[in-house]
Each structure stands twice: as C-alpha cells, then as structure tokens.
Structure 1
Amino acid sequence: MSFRKRAVVVGQSGSNPSSLQSPTQNKTFPPGLRPSPLDGRLTISTGTHSLDSLLAGHVGLALGTSLLIEEHGTTDFAGYLARYFAAEGVVQGHQVHVLGMHEGWGRELPGLGTGEKSGGGREKANDEKMKIAWRYERLGEFGSARERGSPQSPGTSSSSSRAVFCHDFDLSKKLVLPSPSPMKFIPISTRPPFEFKDPDTSISPFTGFLNHLMTQLSASPDAVHRAVIPNLLSSALYPPESSRPEHALQFLHALRALLRKYPSQLVAMITLPVTLHPRTTGLTRWMELLSDGVLELSPFPSTALPAKSTPGAQTVHEEPPQGMLKIHHLPIFHEKGGGGGEASGFGDDLAFTLIRRKGLVIKPFSLPPVEGDTEAQQGGLEHEHGKATKVDIEF
C-alpha cells in the first residue's frame, strides 16, 4: 500500500512550496495600475473613489475602454470629473492628453488633499461605535494580527504602503504640474476665415486629435496614456462643422479603434453637454453606442457650486444631493461578467454631491423624513409593550 504526502501536488516530485505559487503573485505593476478583481484586466483610477466603485465591480476603469459622461443644464459637474481624471494621471506619472482645450484648463486641476483628519476621524469613530457584545468587538483585528505574525519580504510591505491607487484631492488647492509636464494640450482651431470664403466642410476638425494620439502611442509604448475630451461638440469650443455626423462619429469610431489596438496603454474620458445635443437625436445615440460606458448627470436647480463640508459635521447631517446620476451602460468585457448597473451593486436611484475635500460623492438617493412626522424620524420603532426607548435600543 503506497502513501503520498498531502501537501504534494499529484504529478510533481518533491515538495517545493515556491513552485506552487502563482507567477503573478510577485509581479509588480506600474504606478496607478492594478488588476481587476473580476478578470484580472489592468485598471486605473478615475480620481474619484465613488466613481471607481461604480464601474461594474472592477473598482476602476479598465485600460482600452472609454467613458462618456453626459450632463444637463449649464453646470460643469462632468468637467470636475474630467479634472479629477487628469489630476490623478499627473500624480501617477501617466501621459495625459487634453484634446480640445488650451493650457489654461490644466491650471485648474485640484491639488492633493492633506491627511489632517486622521486623528479626528478616529475619535469620531470611537464615539459612534455600535455597542455590541464584547466577543464581536475585536473581530476585525483577526486579519491584521495574522498579517503581523506572517513573515513578509522586506520590499513587499514598503511598496504596497507607498502605492496609492486613488488620491484625495482638494478643490481649494491647485495642482502644481511637474517640469517637464506630462500633460499635452491639443486645442481645436477656431480661427475665423479671413479669406472671405466658405470653409471646407469636408476636412474633419478632429484629424489633429487622432494624429497626436497615434504619434504619442507609438513614441512611448511603455507609458499609460489618458485621453481627456471635455465638452465635446460644445458650440463655444468647436466649429459648427464638428457636429456633422460624418466628422464626429468617424472620430469616435477611430478613437474606439485606437483603444482596441492599444488595450494596455490607452484609456479615454469624454464629457458631452446633452442640453445642446439631446439623447433623442441620432447623433448622441450613436455616440453612446461607440462608447464603452455612459453616465448621465442631471443636476438639481441652484446647485452650480460645490457643497462646503463642515469639519465638525456628524454623519446624520450630510450634505444634500446636488443632482441625480443614471447609468446607461458600463464597460462590458465578456458575456460572463462585467458591465450593467446590477454588477455595480447599486440601484437606479443614485445621487451625487460635489464636496470640496471629498470630491464627487455618488450614493443611493433617499428622501428625508417629512417635517413634523416624529414617528418617521425616530424610525417607527415599536415593540409589544409600546414604543421603543433609548434604553431598549442600546443593548
């Protein structure tokens, strides 16, 4: 009767533990990149924590995909998302290509936030800690104690602590661009025709965008490139012939081809004012079909400015939402996972709030209780002997 060690894999001679490890465990990724928990594709951060968690469970925007953000009205919440996206790329050392804007747009990027609220947050957490049984109080420390006891390589812990996937930005500060700057601006030509003749509408105004991207992608194949296109087809920035379908749709189709050709280098974020180009038009619907992800922002009236967060605000006194967010579709990678609003873990009722130190926060929308309805404000807690009191709640 033969015996075999339980720790040895069948078909291998010897019990070398290092041979059983996956080769991807020791693989290091460039700054700002990490694999998706669903299928292992490389993802980058959009610069907004809540938006990263919304992207179909991949906790980031996968390389080789594009995200179209539509916005109603005259506000610029989508522009803030584009600035966060560009600022995150600058901090991570990525190549950022701003298409259709001048260098003045890059001077408005938000600066890095400070970590001054760590001490106050710890005291606040201790005050609001739920009073539960003592056996469950230290349950969350099991993983950290196990990690402290397990041996680690000297370079692994230091590198993981320094690697930040998504930074915190403060709108009251301005990001100082390094020299040389990783941002490149390709403004669109709006020079008036002094020749006093009709402009040639057969020439696409987006040709310079595509030529720039193809040149930069071939010149630096090892870098990560972020393409930012704020206010696409806006009448204040683009000439009238840019809204012709043969120009706009061909540009998005060529951009989609570049994303598929360079799936590990290029990612794009586009903002579109749907007040000028409604979703009922065929041009906008085709633009949505040529984009991998589409989000729609519907701000509430009188919410043009970001909400100010007070330092001593409690969790019950949250900032009111400034608009609604709707998910039309998210990047889909294959038929087994990824994409769809259900995969993100949120419902259809989503609201957003732009806060100075927290950025754009996306969370489920819920109406506050009606004024004067004390039963709804107290939660309507009842038991068999009457209404629940504070003594009954604190166990």
Structure 2
Amino acid sequence: MSFRKKGVVISGRGSRNAVAGTVPGDPRGVPGASMSAQPDIFNHGGVKPSTMTSHPTISTGCPDLDKLLGHSGLPLGSLLMVEESGTTDFASIITRSFASQGVVHDRSGYGTKLVVVGAGDHWGAELPGVYKDKKSAAKEKIEQEASRVTVGNLAEPRDERTNMKIAWRYARNAPADNQSSIKTENTKPDYSVVFDYTTRLSPPPSKEEAEYIPPGSFASIISRVDAIASQAYAKGQVVRFIIPGLLHPLIYTPDMCHPSVVIPFLHGLRSLCRKYPNTMAALVTVSLELFPRTSAFTRWAELETDGLLHLDPFDEIAEASDDKSKPSQGLVHIYKLPVLSEKGVMVTKRGEYAFRTGRRTFEIREFGIPVEDKDDNKDEKSAIDF
C-alpha cells in the first residue's frame, strides 16, 4: 500500500493546480484573502515583535512593566487596565511614562500619535524627561556651545573645533567593528528609553504630537478616536490612547458614571483596538477607592480588558534591613495579561511581585518577606565561645 505526503496535490483530470509557495492551513494561501494596505508596522522604530507571540508590541516606558506583561511591552490592539487601591497615585507614573515614550518616538521620526481623554495641556507638561547621565549631559552642552556661530569658531574648521572642545575622555571613538556590532545587536535602540521622573519633557507635547479630548460624551470620544486611528493606519503610525483616572468625580459628570453608559464605551474602545490591531493600544487607570472590585461596574469593566493589573500600596513603608536594599512601596497583582489570557493561559498571580519608585525607574521585582537572622548568628557565636 502506497502513501502520499500531505499537502501534495494528486495528479489527475479535473484537479486544480496548487498555488506555488502555499501551505495547507496557512491563511496566507486562502483564496480571496486581501492584503492589508497598511505599511509594514515592524519598520516603525518603536515597534518590536513580541518575544512570546510575535505580535507587534510597543514599550510602556517602564522596562520592568514590559517584562511583567510577558511580551517585552504592550501588544498593539490591546486594552490594558491598571487598578490602584488607596488614595495614592502610583498609576500616574505608568501613564505618564507611556505617554512620554510615545512623544520621544515621534520626535525621533517614528510616527506616533498620543490621545489623552480627560486631561489637558497641564497633564502633558508634567511628562517625565529623558534621563541623561553626567557624561552625556556635559557632551551635549559642549556640542551646543560648539554649534554657536562666533568669530573664533568661524576661523577654525568644524571638526577641529569639536575635537578641541570635547574632553579627551569623550573624544575616544570606538572602532568601526565595535560600532557595527552594536548596531546589529540592538537594531532599535529607541524602542525603550530611561526617564528621569525629577525632570520634565522639554518642550511639552505640541498639538501635532498629542491630542486632548475633553470628556463630553463617550460616543463622541469613540468617533474621534476612530478617525485618528484610521489616519494613523494609512500612514503606518502608532496611536497611544490613555485615560488617566477613569470616572474621576472631578473630571466626569455623574450621568457618565452609570454602568449602562461606561460599559458600552469600554466595549467600543476594545472594538477599536480589534479594528486596528497593528495601530492602536489603550491604557486605562481606575481608582478602587471610588469603585471597589466588588462593585458591578468594576467586574464588568474588567471583562472588557485584555490586560489587568492591580497596584496595592502598603499602608506603611517598612525600613530597609540592609543599606543596599530599598523597601518596596506596594504589591502588584496580575489578573490578566494581553493575548495570553485570551488564549486560555492561567496567569493570575497575587502577592508575588512588588513595586517601588525611584528617580529614573518604576521597579517591579519578586516579593518576599525578608528574614532577619542577625540575632541567631550572635547566639551561635556566643554558644561556641567558652
């Protein structure tokens, strides 16, 4: 009895010729499948394939949060919700880092549109600036002074001026082989940058870089975001959609806080993310002090998200037992992760991660109760000595 390989068309009368290069079951070989008119999104300097699913992914501006999401970033076409207990506002660090990362990408020549709901120009003026160490800051200052047109500068060639003004430790150029190897190792160095939370992004985002939508009606917000995403889709750009403090009483009217109004809005927002899977990603923050997880609104809202994180700050920050270690400021609970939870992967983790904020980092690390054994060591030594 003879066997034939799968995928090989049996020759015979009336049989159709197989299309070259197609594989059975591959959607690219399905007859009538139309190719997308959008440019290749992976040519964007701020987009990388996911390390787990190969989905196009953007950075949140927090490297530890990128790792926690499991994709080295937030996959495009996803809606991430960050809940926070208590009266603190640690979630604002995540939203501002997410926004500032998009502005940096746009200024680097990678088309990125920032859309913020419920905030104005004052919110954009508080975005963190890019971190610069002392060496790079001094080098930038020297280059700015060298670029000024003066009588003395015009008398010397530009290359000689630069080499004379830059200190000897900055003038050492790496060999060509090393520079080429660095470029091959990191083809997208601007994918994620380090921010300094003690400084501000200068200049603030312009109207072309960021659009602030007032919370008028949720229907108008959806229609406006749809128009922005459609234009960005045609240009191969990325849209970063942010809602800081959803349903905050100082921003939203009481009639907008009804579940029958908010839940359809979140459903429509998630539908836009599905409509533009290679263009748009959304980040929403909610205060559990106003809407506890036991409320019906929060439960329904969590169902409309692709990723769900919970920041649970400590009531009191304990002092560090070691001078080198720094105390954590709260716990990070994971309830859903983008793409993975939708595929049925169990990723619920409570009390396994902790966070702390610093000058240039929003650190997320594994949480463990420290064990103090200094007294035990002293007792052992005293028992041994006679």
TM-score normalised by the chain length of structure 1: 0.67
Question: Structure 1 residue aligned with 2:337, among 324, 330, 355?
Answer: 330
Deviation at 1:371, TM superposition (A): 7.5
1:321 correspondence with 2:328: yes
Deviation at 1:155, TM superposition (A): 11
Quick one: structure 1 residues 64 and 209, their matched pair in 2 at CA, closer, same or farther if it must change by over 3 Å? same
Distance 2:324 2:44 in 1: 40
Quick one: structure 1 residues 232 and 38, their matched pair in 2 at CA, closer, same or farther if it must change by over 3 Å? same
Counting only pairs closer than 5 Å after superposition, residues 260-339 of structure 1 correspond to structure 2 as: 260-301=274-315, 317-333=324-340
Question: Residue 163 of structure 1: SS of its match in structure 2?
Answer: coil
Alpha carbons 2:311, 2:331 under 8 Å: kept: yes
Question: Residue 231 of structure 1: SS of its match in structure 2?
Answer: coil
Deviation at 1:337, TM superposition (A): 8.1
Q: Deviations over 1:209-244 (max 9, x none)?
A: 112101111223221000000000111211111111
Alpha carbons 1:332, 1:339 under 8 Å: kept: no
**Which residue number corresponds to residue 76 of structure 2?**
63
Quick one: structure 1 residues 67 and 80, their matched pair in 2 at CA, closer, same or farther if it must change by over 3 Å? same
Alpha carbons 2:41, 2:56 under 8 Å: kept: no
Question: Structure 1 residue aligned with 2:97, among 84, 98, 113?
Answer: 84
266-275 vs 217-226, which moves further: 217-226
Quick one: structure 1 residues 219 and 27, their matched pair in 2 at CA, closer, same or farther if it must change by over 3 Å? closer
Quick one: structure 1 residues 115 and 188, their matched pair in 2 at CA, closer, same or farther if it must change by over 3 Å? same
Q: Which runs of 5 or more structure 2 residues have no equivalent in the other structure? A: 1-39, 107-111, 137-176
Q: Deviations over 1:145-198 (max 9, x none)?
A: xxxxxx999799379466222110011110023555411101224xxxxxxxxx
Alpha carbons 2:118, 2:251 under 8 Å: kept: yes
TM-score normalised by the chain length of structure 2: 0.69
Count residues with an aligned counterpart: 296
Q: Percent identity?
A: 36
Question: Residue 247 of structure 1: SS of its match in structure 2?
Answer: helix
Counting only pairs closer than 5 Å after superposition, residues 89-108 of structure 1 correspond to structure 2 as: 89-93=102-106, 94-108=112-126
Alpha carbons 2:56, 2:75 under 8 Å: kept: yes
1:214 correspondence with 2:226: yes
Question: Residue 50 of structure 1: SS of its match in structure 2?
Answer: helix
Deviation at 1:39, TM superposition (A): 2.1
Question: Residue 245 of structure 2: SS of its match in structure 1?
Answer: coil
CA-based RMSD: 3.5
Q: Deviations over 1:47-102 (max 9, x none)?
A: 001100001x3111100001100011111101111001101111111111001111
Q: Deviations over 1:241-297 (max 9, x none)?
A: 111111100000000110111000000000000111011011101100100011111
Distance 1:237 1:89 in 2: 24
Question: Residue 32 of structure 1: SS of its match in structure 2?
Answer: coil
Q: Which has the higher helix share?
A: 2
Alpha carbons 1:95, 1:223 under 8 Å: kept: yes
**Which residue number corresponds to residue 189 of structure 2?**
163
Distance 1:351 1:106 in 2: 28
Alpha carbons 2:41, 2:47 under 8 Å: kept: no
Distance 1:355 1:61 in 2: 22
Question: Structure 2 residue aligned with 1:114, among 132, 143, 159?
Answer: 132
Alpha carbons 2:42, 2:48 under 8 Å: kept: no
**Which residue number corresponds to residue 365 of structure 2?**
363
**Which residue number corresponds to residue 23 of structure 1?**
none
Deviation at 1:41, TM superposition (A): 0.9
**Which residue number corresponds to residue 352 of structure 2?**
349
Question: Residue 246 of structure 2: SS of its match in structure 1?
Answer: coil
**Equivalent residue letter for 1:364:** E
Question: Structure 2 residue aligned with 1:174, among 200, 203, 225?
Answer: 200
Quick one: structure 1 residues 246 and 323, their matched pair in 2 at CA, closer, same or farther if it must change by over 3 Å? same
Distance 1:334 1:367 in 2: 29
